[in-house]
Amino acid sequence: MKINCTTKSIQLAIKQSVIATSLMTITMGTAIAHNNPGYSHDDHIGYSNPNWMASIQNGALLSEMSIPGTHDSGAYNFGGDAVETQTMSLSTQLNSGIRAWDIRLGSCLLEIPSALCVYHGVAPQYIAFDSVLQEAENFLTANPSETVLMRIKHEIGTKAMFEHFVNADLNRVDHLLYKGQSDNPTMGEMRGKIVILQNYDGADKGIPWSSFDTQDNYNLDTNWDLYSKWESVKGHLDKSSSGATVTKYINFLSGSGGSFPYFVASGHSSPATGASRLSTGKTIGVFPNSYPDFPRVACAFNPFIWGEDCTIAFEGTNTLTMDRLNNNPILRAGIVYADFPGGGLIDSVIRKNESLTARRSTVNNVDFAWSSSGPIEGMHCRMISEPSDPNTWHDNYFCSSRDVGMRWSSSGPIGGMKCTQILEPSDPHTWHDNYLCLPGSSEFGFQWSYSGSENANAVQWHEAADPHTWMDNYLTVIHGDTLVQSSYLEANEQIVSHDGRHRLLMQSDGNLVIYSNNQPIWATNTPGSTAVRAHLTNGIFGIGGNLTLLDAQNQVVWQTNSSGVNTRLVMQSDGNLVIYDANNAPVWASNTCCR
């Protein structure tokens, strides 16, 4: 038989198809080891964060927050892999940072002396509802800065007396219930409270479940529907990030039906935390565009495609969500309900609240931040410790995005540095000789307050383990004697000479004034104008250096008409206000020397 080129091509294609099919058959059962912090099937996950809400500003709305939660929170006692969705107990969940519970209730079995118990579907979990409330009460008593959001859903049995029995149990913790009128309460209104997310018929007892924009596409017919589930989760993450800040979002990472809950969460072939990934049965050599967000693993040279070939493995929604939150500009995630969450997933959700904390400020283009849970990655951090109080103050740091030469002392001011005393009057025996210091030539300065602060550059110092003492303490970062190019002096902000005798103040009346020993010696003479801030301009190629007064629309009210490369404005100890360029040459001065 004569074999032409077309026949050879067909035979080659068939041969490659057979080989690819064989590879698929092999990889279908390939076990690919996987241990990821987004997923944990252990009863303790090695992550603790019982006080993370302490740093959230009181005015932050529920809709603005990102909150880790557990789906079917009580389903860890009975039912096997098809039913169980958690391994952590309710108390462990809260101490691990979980703040949203999903509580499904039905009538208790006879051996439990309570009216309502936790169920997952028809499977009883042998946890009484009153004990659920007790766990929440215990946690909030120990951690008054936190809140517990509790979805209550009628899961099984007659509805006739359900509301009556729910209310009977809730009445016992009535003093802890959120009773506000708003369906979008603030953190201050929720702090120390149980907030009911009401998913049952009856009189209003909290926030209606229907008031949330919810993604809960939970049914998977087969394991291969996992990618479709992930696309639902991913789409809702993007929606919550870009949506109106007053819209409340809920995103369920969980799924079941034709797949086990642990598989949807992990992509694993078995439930264990470090179990192997399951293969999809596809390789990129044959299906290069399949499941683009799933990992490519076990890569090797394949002579039949004359190139590298990789197995496409399943990935769980926990890991995919954690990675998307960590590696993409997701502004907020809403309430994220997950099965078997690991510490990495919980932490990635919590970190989306950084913009809502009262612990960060920016001065002269440098960020300053407080942490009570270790140094902040990517920042220059100074440990804040008190040797006589080691059990409480042992993991606290004050950080800056640029190394500004900060040093901490628990034994008095440091010679040759400008030091600010850090004290707490309610703890005078411990905190009485502590100082945070800067180099004498630093462009920054610090001001300490133990009675609150309204200054935008005030960073709250808070130690959750000492909430009754450290609750209204703020360190305000000021400009020192220098305003760098592209920076602003807002109303009532100032720069002060090293000797403290001279200061440039941006007054709230629109006037920019130099004071020497508290007497005015120079001004822009713009009182009553629309000016709200001073700005040392920047420009292309580093050319700027024009000191301006701007109104609320950033229109120029007054200016020096000066320019230079990489300039800075300095309030000198001789009383002169000078703009210097990168070569330390003056480009403008107030000519108020020497006072």
Strand 577-580 and strand 307-313: pairing?
unpaired
Compute the Cα dihedral for 448, 450, 456, 459 and give only its sign: positive
Band (579; pLDDT cuts 50, 70, 90): very high
Average pLDDT over residues 106-112: 90
Query: Do 465 and 506 lie in a common domain?
Result: no
pLDDT of the residue at 22: 40
Say yes or no to pLDDT of 3 above 60: no
Both tokens of 40, joined, read 């944990």
| DSSP letter, residue 357 | B
Q: Which of 479, 503, 531 is the last residue of a domain?
A: 479
Query: Do 100 and 178 lie in a common domain?
Result: yes
Domain-embedded: residue 98: yes
pLDDT of the residue at 59: 75
Query: Do 439 and 514 lie in a common domain?
Result: no
How many percent of the chain have pLDDT more than 70?
92
Average pLDDT over residues 475-491: 87
Q: What is the 3-state secondary structure (H, E, C) of 180-243?
A: CCCCCCEHHHHCCCEEEEEECCCCCCCEEHHHCEEECCCEECCHHHHHHHHHHHHHHHHHHHHC
Q: Which carries the bigger pLDDT value, residue 224 or residue 387?
A: 224
pLDDT of the residue at 249: 99
pLDDT of the residue at 542: 66
- Give the CATH number of the domain where residue 564 resides: 2.90.10.10
Q: Which of 310, 262, 277, 349 is nearest to 35 (CA)?
A: 277
Is residue 473 within 8 Å of residue 462, measured between CB atoms? yes
Domain-embedded: residue 368: yes
Query: Do 465 and 509 lie in a common domain?
Result: no
pLDDT of the residue at 205: 93
Query: Do 87 and 205 lie in a common domain?
Result: yes
Q: Which carries the bigger pLDDT value, residue 391 or residue 302?
A: 302
- Amino acid letter, residue 376: I
Q: How far is residue 556's CA from residue 550's CA, in Å, rounded to a whole number? A: 5
Query: Do 544 and 469 lie in a common domain?
Result: no
Is residue 31 within 8 Å of residue 282, measured between CB atoms? no
Average pLDDT over residues 112-132: 95
Say yes or no to pLDDT of 11 above 80: no
Say yes or no to pLDDT of 595 above 90: no
Domain-embedded: residue 245: no
Average pLDDT over residues 412-421: 92
Is residue 207 within 8 Å of residue 198, measured between CB atoms? yes
Query: Do 377 and 440 lie in a common domain?
Result: yes
Mean residue pLDDT of the chain comes to 89
Q: Which carries the bigger pLDDT value, residue 479 or residue 368?
A: 368
| DSSP letter, residue 397 | E
CB atoms within 10 A of CB 488: 17
**Interval 262-304: pLDDT, tens:** 999 999 999 999 999 999 999 999 999 999 999 999 999 888 7
Average pLDDT over residues 370-377: 77
Query: Do 421 and 497 lie in a common domain?
Result: no
Say yes or no to pLDDT of 21 above 70: no
Query: Do 200 and 97 lie in a common domain?
Result: yes
**Interval 188-246: pLDDT, tens:** 899 999 999 999 999 899 999 999 999 999 999 999 999 999 999 999 999 999 999 99
Q: Which of 179, 212, 245 is the last residue of a domain?
A: 212
Q: What is the dihedral of CA 121, 125, 129, 135, to 10 degrees?
A: -130
Domain that holds residue 422: 358-479
pLDDT of the residue at 528: 87
Q: Which of 357, 556, 385, 316 is nearest to 474 (CA)?
A: 357
Residue with tokens 């050319």: 543
Q: Strand pairing partners for 186?
A: 61
Query: Do 548 and 455 lie in a common domain?
Result: no
Query: Do 466 and 485 lie in a common domain?
Result: no
Domain-embedded: residue 228: no
pLDDT of the residue at 312: 96
pLDDT of the residue at 229: 98
Band (389; pLDDT cuts 50, 70, 90): confident
Q: Which long-range contacts (CB under 8 A, 24 or more apart) does 391-395 make?
A: 391/465, 392/463, 392/465, 392/466, 393/463, 393/466
Compute the Cα dihedral for 325, 326, 330, 334 and give only its sign: positive
DSSP 257-306: ESS-HHHHHH-BSSSSTTPEEEEEEEETTT-TTSSTTSPEEEEEEETTTT
**Interval 162-195: pLDDT, tens:** 999 999 999 999 999 999 999 999 988 999 999 9
Highest mean pLDDT among 113-122, 389-398, 475-484: 113-122
Domain-embedded: residue 155: yes
- Give the CATH number of the domain where residue 129 resides: 3.20.20.190
Domain-embedded: residue 251: no
Q: Which carries the bigger pLDDT value, residue 11 or residue 322?
A: 322
Number of domains in the chain: 4
Band (80; pLDDT cuts 50, 70, 90): very high
Q: Which helix (H) or strand (E) segment is 334 a member of?
A: strand 334-338
Query: Do 402 and 436 lie in a common domain?
Result: yes
User: What are the φ/ψ torsions at residue 376 (nearest 5 degrees)?
Assistant: -90, 125
Q: Which carries the bigger pLDDT value, residue 389 or residue 541?
A: 389
Domain-embedded: residue 346: no
Q: Which of 433, 462, 479 is the last residue of a domain?
A: 479
pLDDT of the residue at 467: 61
Give Cα separations from 588 to 172, 531, 566 (angstroms): 71, 21, 14
Band (559; pLDDT cuts 50, 70, 90): very high
Band (14; pLDDT cuts 50, 70, 90): very low
Say yes or no to pLDDT of 381 above 70: yes
Domain-embedded: residue 460: yes
Say yes or no to pLDDT of 2 above 50: no
Band (259; pLDDT cuts 50, 70, 90): very high
Say yes or no to pLDDT of 30 above 60: no
